[in-house]
C-alpha cells in the first residue's frame, strides 16, 4: 500500500505534468509561475478540481506574481478540463438539471450574497457612476471614460429619445438610468434583487425620473418603449431563458427595442463553476449563442449582435487596481481570506477573458423588425 508521502509525491508529479503543458513551472522565475507554500495543495487540486484550487488560494497555500496570466495560460491550454473532478462535476450537472436553481423562490439569493456585501466595497472598486459590467474602451483612456462610452453606446443603439419610458432589468445602482435621464431625458424604471443597490441607487439618482423597484424580473407587468438589461441574464439560468424573453416581449411596445448586454460562453452549459457558485455568484450561469438563439426564436427579430469581450480583461484589471489601492479603507470590514477571494475572482475572471473563454455581447432585438432595417452602431 502506498505511503502518505508516496501519494503526496504522486499528486505533485501529476500537477507538475499538467502545468508543464501550459508552460507553467512550480516555484519558477516567470511571473505566471506559481509558488506552492503548502504541499497539500497538490492533492487538493487533483481531488477537488476548480473548487479546491480556488479555496487553496484563499487559504494561502499557493500564489503567483501574475495570477491573471497564470489563469489565462491554464485556460488556453484547457488544463481546467484535465483537473476537473469527474464525480463532483457529474453531481453538479445532475443537480442543475433536477432543480431550477434560479427559480422565483431563489431569486433574491444573489442579491443577499453578492450585491449586498457592502456598498462601500463597490464604491471603491467601480467607476464614478458605479457600472458593474464590461466597459467599452474604444477611444477611452480611463475607466470612467470607458464606462461612459458604454452607456452612450447603449443609448445610441436604442435610439433613445426624450420622454421614452425605459425598463432596466438588473439596474444595479442605477448607472444606466442616471445617464439616460440626464443625457437623453428618459424616464427609467430599474429593477434589482439587491436591497443595498436600491438604497444607494435612490440617493445617486435623487431628483431624476429614475424609479427603483426591489423585485424579480418575472413580476414586471408594465409596458415600455425601450428595455435594457446589462449583466443580469447571467443570473437567469438556462431553464429560465425562454421565460425571461417572454417577459421582455410582453413588456416591450410593438415598435420598441430591447438591448441585452451579457457575458457569453463558447459552449452551452447546464451546470456552474463550483468555486464561483460557492463564493461569488451563487447560481450564476453564462448563456451560449445557441441557448440565446433558441430562447429568442419566435419572440424577437435579432437586429444586431456586437461582440467586445476583449474589453472585459482591461475592465477587470482596472477594478483590481482600484480594490488593491483602496484596500486600507476596507480592511476593517473584510478579513484577509475575503481579500484573497476577491482578488482571485477579479484576476481569474480577467484571465478567462484574456484566453477568450468568455465573451461579451450586446444584442439588439425588436418585436416586429425595424422598417427599412436597423443601422448598427459602434
DSSP 8-state symbol, 364: E
- Residue 361's closest CA among 218, 214, 260, 250? 260
Q: What is the mean pLDDT of residues 29-55?
A: 95
| pLDDT band at residue 89 using 50, 70 and 90 as cut-offs | very low
Q: Is the pLDDT of residue 101 over 80?
A: no
- Cell numbers describing residue 170: 438588473
CA–CA dist 280, 345 (Å, integer):
7
pLDDT in tens, 170-206: 999 999 999 999 999 999 999 999 999 999 999 999 9
Mean pLDDT calculated for residue range 2-24: 85
Contact status, residue 243 vs residue 218, Cβ threshold 8 Å: yes
**Nearest-angstrom CA–CA distance, 164 and 168:** 13
* pLDDT of amino acid 115: 77
As a whole number of angstroms, the distance between CA 344 and CA 354 comes to: 15
Backbone torsions φ then ψ of 283, nearest 5 degrees: 70, 15
Lookup result for grid cell 431563489 = 106
Q: How close are the terminal C-alpha atoms of the chain, in Å?
A: 64
Mean pLDDT, residues 11-34: 94
Helix, strand, or coil here: 231?
Answer: coil
Q: Determine contact, residues 257/288, Cβ cutoff 8 Å.
A: no
Residue with cell 503526496: 8
6 C-beta neighbours (distance < 10 Å), count: 10
Residue 263 has pLDDT above 50, yes or no: yes
Q: Give whole-number Cα distances, 89 to 80, 270, 272, in Å.
A: 12, 11, 9
Task: Please state which of the ranges 97-111, 153-167, 253-267 shows the lowest mean pLDDT.
Answer: 97-111
| Mean pLDDT over each residue of the chain, to the nearest integer | 92
Domains and CATH numbers, the chain: 4-84 (no CATH), 107-308+356-366 (3.40.50.150)
| Res 116: pLDDT | 77
Amino acid at each position: 500500500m502506498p505511503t502518505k508521502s508516496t501519494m503526496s509525491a504522486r499528486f505533485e508529479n501529476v500537477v507538475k505534468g499538467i502545468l508543464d503543458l501550459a508552460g507553467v513551472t512550480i516555484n519558477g522565475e516567470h511571473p505566471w509561475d506559481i509558488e506552492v507554500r503548502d504541499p497539500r495543495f497538490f492533492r487538493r487540486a487533483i481531488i477537488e478540481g476548480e473548487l479546491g484550487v480556488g479555496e487553496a488560494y484563499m487559504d494561502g497555500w499557493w500564489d503567483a506574481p501574475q495570477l491573471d496570466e497564470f489563469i489565462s495560460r491554464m485556460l488556453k491550454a484547457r488544463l481546467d478540463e484535465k483537473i476537473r473532478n469527474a464525480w463532483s462535476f457529474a453531481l453538479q450537472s445532475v443537480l442543475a438539471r433536477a432543480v431550477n436553481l434560479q427559480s422565483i423562490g431563489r431569486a433574491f439569493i444573489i442579491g443577499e450574497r453578492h450585491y449586498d456585501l457592502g456598498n462601500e466595497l463597490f464604491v471603491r472598486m467601480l467607476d464614478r457612476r458605479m457600472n458593474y459590467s464590461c466597459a467599452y474602451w474604444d477611444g477611452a483612456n480611463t475607466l470612467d471614460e470607458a464606462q461612459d462610452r458604454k452607456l452612450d453606446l447603449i443609448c445610441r443603439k436604442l435610439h433613445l429619445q426624450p420622454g421614452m419610458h425605459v425598463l432596466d432589468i438588473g439596474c444595479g445602482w442605477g448607472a444606466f438610468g442616471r445617464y439616460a435621464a440626464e443625457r437623453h431625458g428618459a424616464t427609467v424604471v430599474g429593477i434589482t434583487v439587491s436591497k443595498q443597490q436600491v438604497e444607494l441607487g435612490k440617493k445617486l439618482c435623487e431628483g431624476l425620473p429614475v424609479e427603483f423597484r426591489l423585485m424579480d424580473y418575472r413580476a414586471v407587468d408594465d409596458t415600455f418603449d425601450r428595455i435594457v438589461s446589462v449583466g443580469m441574464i447571467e443570473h437567469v439560468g438556462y431553464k429560465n431563458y425562454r421565460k425571461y424573453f417572454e417577459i421582455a416581449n410582453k413588456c416591450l411596445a410593438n415598435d420598441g427595442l430591447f438591448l441585452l448586454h451579457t457575458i457569453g460562453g463558447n459552449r452551452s452549459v447546464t451546470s456552474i463553476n463550483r468555486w464561483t457558485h460557492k463564493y461569488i455568484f451563487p447560481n450564476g450561469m453564462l448563456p451560449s449563442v445557441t441557448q440565446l438563439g433558441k430562447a429568442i426564436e419566435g419572440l424577437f427579430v435579432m437586429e444586431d449582435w456586437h461582440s467586445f469581450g476583449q474589453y472585459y480583461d482591461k475592465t477587470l484589471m482596472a477594478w483590481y487596481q482600484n480594490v488593491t489601492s483602496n484596500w486600507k479603507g476596507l480592511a476593517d470590514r473584510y478579513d484577509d481570506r475575503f481579500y484573497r477571494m476577491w482578488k482571485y475572482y477579479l484576476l481569474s475572471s480577467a484571465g478567462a477573458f484574456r484566453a477568450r473563454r468568455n465573451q461579451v455581447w450586446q444584442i439588439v432585438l425588436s418585436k416586429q423588425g425595424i422598417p427599412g432595417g436597423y443601422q448598427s452602431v459602434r
